[in-house]
Amino acid sequence: MASELARVLTAKQAVVIGLGSMLGAGVFAAFAPAAAVAGWALPLSLVLAAAVAFANGTASAQLAARYPKAGGSYIYGREKLGAWPGFFAGWAFTIGKTASLAAMGLVAATYLHPSNPRPVAPGILAFVTIIACLGVTRTARATAVIVAIVLLVLGCVFLTAFELPAAYPFWSHVTELAATADGTTVRGMAQGAALLFFAFAGYARIATMGEEIRDPASSIPAATHQSIGLAAVIYAVITYLLLTRLGPEATAATDMPIASLVDLTRFDRIGIVLSATAALAATGALLALIVGISRTLLAMSCHGDLPAFFARTNRRQVPALATIVVAGVVAALMVFLPSITTAIGFSSFGVLLYYAIANASALRQPAAERRYPRVLHIFGLLACLGLVASLPVTSIVIGAGVVVVGSIYRLVWLGLMTHRKPPRVETMELEPGKDTQDE
């Protein structure tokens, strides 16, 4: 069965959706747990996370230009590597981003109601679900408003924070760290990068919504790189300010490091505004995330890896049923999730595996389809696997367990499907997974 999504998004709207996804996760959620494990190596963690994001972004952009369909690396893996790798990509993305949704919902609720956020989070999720079901153009407009407000408030925070004296000299600490680095420092830096990758992973929304973007061959690569570049600049400023004004220990000790930074300034009263902005940014990330997951479920349904009802679209050409199902699962996670940090680690596990398959798929593309050097895809593949290995053991165990569950599900589902009429699948290769090799 073929999906029926309309190409209504411009390149600028795609940039906004990608940036909106990243800012909500990166600015207000990822820096505290990353600082806890990386310490003064946090700048190196950020550089590594940005480099991995860029490599993954080039792979996704190159593949999306060839396969401008909803589903992202699920489609790429099927076309270049085969049905099972494609399924693992879609499954890893779904579980990783579902954890991200739960984390972002709790972040938004924490800023709105710090004393008891869990009852508030489902209400935020319901609001976002309604907007997502109204159509992707409304999603883009809502995200654009949120991004504009977040950037304005962050600009005010940066200006006031730079007025503060640097309590911790940046370069002396970084130089000392480089001179005394050992295996523990390297592992902390790698684990910090894996957690900070959570802050960059929002650009995946651009590729997963490839079927709804105009002129995807040029718009998707441009939007991907622009959104990553803008986010990296903002994160670099935040990293510098947090380390030099708060220090790594104080940054790691609070769930709201940006708010702690504002409390030190002469404009500490803008803390209320910052809390509202943080909740708004996390809500924007929620909106973009739920849209991306629903499109991946739609693609998996169209190819027979999930029940057919996930591919149903409403009169606005939106997979509303898939969106509602995702919201229900996320609401349950919000109740039982131990902590936001646990969700970030679990999310990074799934998303890094997803991009490992994207890089492996990009390596299979022939020279005529390639836009970037193969070395970027090799680096991206190895870096993703390395960062997965550096994650906390709990995240790895839980993630591996869910992947095993997905494998069992697909084996059972394939067995059931052998007795039914197979789904109609729009394949963009003559032989998926059997492409001509480079000359």
Q: In this predicted model, what pLDDT tens digit does every residue of 16-30 receive, in sequence order? A: 877 877 887 678 878
* 213 bridge partner residues: 9
What per-residue confidence (pLDDT) applies to 70?
Answer: 67
pLDDT given at position 207: 66
- CA distances 62 to 195, 202, 366, 371, 426, Å, are 25, 17, 11, 6, 20
- Tallying the residues shown for the chain, one arrives at 439
Instruction: Report the pLDDT value the prediction gives residue 421, as an integer from 0 to 100.
Output: 53
Are residues 220 and 213 in contact, defined by beta-carbon separation less than 8 angstroms?
A: yes
pLDDT tens, position by position, 311-344? 887 777 778 888 888 888 888 777 777 777 888 8
Q: State residue 381's pLDDT score.
A: 96
Query: Is residue 119 helix, strand or coil?
Result: coil
Q: What is the model's pLDDT at position 359? A: 95
The reported pLDDT for the residue numbered 268 is 66
State the pTM of this model. Answer: 0.82
Contact call for residues 296 and 38 (beta carbons, < 8 A): no
Cβ count near 399 (within 10 Å): 24
Q: What stretches in the chain show pLDDT beneath 70?
A: 1-8, 25, 70, 136-139, 179, 204-205, 207-211, 268, 417-439
Q: Which amino acid is at 191?
A: Q
Amino acid at 269: R
Long-range CB contacts (within 8 A, 24+) of 330-336: 330/98, 330/101, 330/102, 330/105, 330/125, 330/290, 331/121, 331/122, 331/125, 333/98, 333/99, 333/101, 333/102, 334/102, 334/105, 334/106, 334/118, 334/121, 334/122, 334/125, 335/118
The structural domains of the chain, ordered by start, are 11-417 (1.20.1740.10)
Eight-state DSSP code of residue 26? I
Report the distance separating Cα 79 and Cα 140, nearest Å. 29
| Residue whose C-alpha is closest to residue 55's, from 372, 328, 395 | 372
Residue 277's contacts (CB-CB under 8 Å, 6 or more residues apart) are 149, 150, 153, 154
